[in-house]
């Protein structure tokens, strides 16, 4: 009994001291690869690969400043629609895309809704798994998507889907998987909040 209590207290102690270790375990246990979890040697290998999109590396290294131009939108097109079995490349593009969402402002920020929507539709479970751990990123995506969907409902956006279509598509992609449905519902609530705030 005493040993059980000591074990439990040790577990609580280390859980409090190392919350990021818990997040890493959650992300890795589900079989998803995220940039934050890769060892430095693998990150260097990806960054130096001839196959990686060079403007993504340039942005990551601070050598490329986003602006309202074709180069920026080509970067966003590439990293938001990346489809490959190469988990490490996907983890890098996902990380870069998230950094763009966090750091962008002005016209680039205003155009992110379509890209966020596309990225989630391309890798729904990958995104939802990350959103479950990082609610701040979830809210940033929801804000961008909600902003664009508001204008879609008003008839002034060329976004491919309206809100009802988007909800249906995402719900089909998780196919009733309870593991993701809670996070998906939070995403929908945050999108709805963002749309209401536009009124």
Residues with Cβ within 8 Å of 97's Cβ and at least 6 positions away in sequence, in order, are 76, 79, 80, 115, 119
**What's the whole-number mean pLDDT along residues 47-58?**
97
Taking only the tens place, the pLDDT of each residue in 122-168 is 999 999 999 999 999 999 999 999 999 999 988 888 888 899 999 99
Using a 10 angstrom Cβ sphere, with 0-12 exposed, 13-18 middle and 19 or more buried, the burial of residue 58 is: middle
Which pLDDT value is given to residue 131?
97
pLDDT average, residue stretch 42-57: 97
Report the share of the chain in percent with pLDDT over 90.
69
DSSP 8-30: HHHHHHHHHH-HHHHHHHHHHHT
Q: Which residue reads 């260097």 in tokens?
A: 44
The b-or-e profile of 30-54 (16+ CB within 10 A means b, else e) is: eebbbbeebeeeebeebeeeeebbe
Query: CB–CB of 53/79 below 8 Å?
Result: yes
Q: Is 74 or 154 the better-scoring residue by pLDDT?
A: 74
User: Which pLDDT value is given to residue 13?
Assistant: 37
pLDDT above 60: residue 24: no
Residue 192 CA to residue 188 CA, distance in Å, equals 6
pLDDT exceeds 60 at position 11: no
- What's the mean pLDDT in 7-36? 51
Indicate the pLDDT class of residue 31, thresholds 50, 70 and 90: confident
Of residues 120 and 2, more confidence is placed in 120
Token look-up 């920020």 returns 109
Looking at residue 155, what is its pLDDT? Answer: 85
Provide the pLDDT for residue 49.
96
The per-residue pLDDT for 176 is 82
Instruction: Cite the DSSP H helix spans in the chain.
Output: 2-17, 19-29, 40-47, 54-60, 70-80, 87-103, 106-110, 112-122, 124-133, 135-153, 163-174, 178-197
């Amino acid at each position: 009994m005493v040993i059980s209590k000591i074990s439990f207290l040790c577990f609580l102690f280390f859980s409090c001291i190392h919350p990021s270790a818990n997040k890493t375990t959650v992300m890795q246990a589900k079989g998803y690869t995220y940039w934050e979890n890769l060892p430095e040697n693998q990150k260097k290998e990806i960054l130096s690969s001839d196959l990686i999109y060079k403007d993504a590396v340039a942005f990551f290294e601070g050598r490329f400043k986003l602006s309202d131009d074709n180069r920026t939108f080509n970067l966003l097109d590439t990293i938001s629609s990346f489809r490959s079995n190469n988990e490490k490349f996907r983890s890098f593009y996902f990380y870069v895309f998230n950094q763009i969402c966090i750091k962008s402002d002005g016209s680039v920020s205003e155009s992110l809704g379509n890209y966020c929507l596309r990225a989630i539709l391309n890798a729904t479970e990958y995104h939802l798994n990350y959103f479950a751990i990082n609610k701040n990123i979830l809210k940033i995506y929801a804000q961008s998507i909600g902003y664009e969907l508001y204008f879609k409902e008003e008839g002034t956006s060329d976004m491919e889907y309206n809100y009802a279509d988007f909800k249906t598509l995402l719900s089909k992609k998780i196919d009733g998987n309870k593991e993701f449905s809670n996070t998906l519902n939070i995403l929908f609530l945050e999108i709805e909040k963002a749309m209401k705030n536009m009124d």
